[in-house]
Amino acid sequence: MHGQGHILASTMSTLRRSTAPQVPTTAPPKPRDDEIDAFGLTHAGKVRRDNQDHYLLCTLHKTIRVHSTSLPKPDFVDRPSERLAMVAMVADGVGGAAGGETASRSAVVTVAAYLTHVMECYYRVDPRDEQAFFNALLDAAREAHQAVLTRAKADAGLEGMATTLTIGLGVWPSLYVLHVGDSRLYLLRDQVLTQLTRDQTWAQDLVDEGVLPPAVAPTSPLSHVLTSAIGGASAPQVTRFELQRGDTALFCTDGLTKHVPDARIRECLTTMSSAQGACAVLLEDALAGGGSDNITIVVIRNRGLA
């Protein structure tokens, strides 16, 4: 949760491709459902009464809907359909208890509904056409932004509310990421932990400009001053990464990273026995470190061999 008024204007939306880890030209086979180990949790922390974080972890499928049949009970109706995509998102509300919770909830609900509707693009275009997925995520962010603004306009008590939003849309072997604010996405590959998102904060801007030493940024009060947020000055970044079998992804709000360093996150992910266990250990670490903010953690582990 970020304080009211801690959003600074940013004038440029960016659409960029990542130079993060690449896979061979021939992509490995898509992991089976039983090779995906995923879990998420959220906690108010030890200081704040309200939890303004929200998260969603889901899969999108092509399903069959039977409207009429003479068959007594078609056995194909109950079969799970092929997994087309996996979606994870975290949102951290801004603007006081009621406003922050409403903003993050509105953003997650709006994006989920929008992506469910527009995944039909998967059937209309070549799944390798990355622009279709870039556009889908950018449009989802715009829908969420408008939903938050509309809700705030309808209730004077919610004026100024906003939220961070980090979304991962996995369409094997690609991971499309939309990022607004400072909730993070990490990737663990071959025991190396990489932060895939860039914090959209004043402190990070100063680091990029060479004004603020990177070592000082985490403890600077400017590290929690957002330069971009859904419902505020919004500059969404969309990136595409290539996944490998054996990768682990971690989505989190800053309630985790305020108290748990990257080295500890890496240690936990490399030694975990399950996604649920990793989430529980990281939550315990964040609470032991002070639990000064709401904490949300989503871990997705691909157990398939590389």
Can you tell me the mean pLDDT for 247-256?
A: 97
| The predicted structure's pLDDT at residue 126 | 61
Contact 230, 164 (CB under 8 A): yes
- Closest by CA to 244, choosing from 168, 185, 174, is 174
| The predicted structure's pLDDT at residue 261 | 96
User: Predicted confidence band at 13 (pLDDT cuts at 50, 70, 90)?
Assistant: very low
Domains and CATH numbers, the chain: 14-62+83-302 (3.60.40.10)
| The predicted structure's pLDDT at residue 211 | 94
User: Predicted confidence band at 157 (pLDDT cuts at 50, 70, 90)?
Assistant: confident
**Percent over 70 (pLDDT), the chain:** 80
User: Per-residue b/e over 63-78, b at no fewer than 16 CB within 10 Å?
Assistant: eeeeeeeeeeeeeeee
Report pLDDT digits (tens) over 92-114: 998 766 789 999 999 999 998 88
Examine the pLDDT at 280 and tell me if it is beyond 80: yes
User: Predicted confidence band at 62 (pLDDT cuts at 50, 70, 90)?
Assistant: confident
Report pLDDT digits (tens) over 171-219: 899 999 999 999 999 999 999 999 999 999 999 999 999 999 999 998 8
CA distance 184 to 1: 14
User: Predicted confidence band at 129 (pLDDT cuts at 50, 70, 90)?
Assistant: confident
Whole-prediction pTM value?
Answer: 0.87
The average confidence (pLDDT) of the chain is: 85
| The predicted structure's pLDDT at residue 127 | 61
Examine the pLDDT at 11 and tell me if it is beyond 70: no
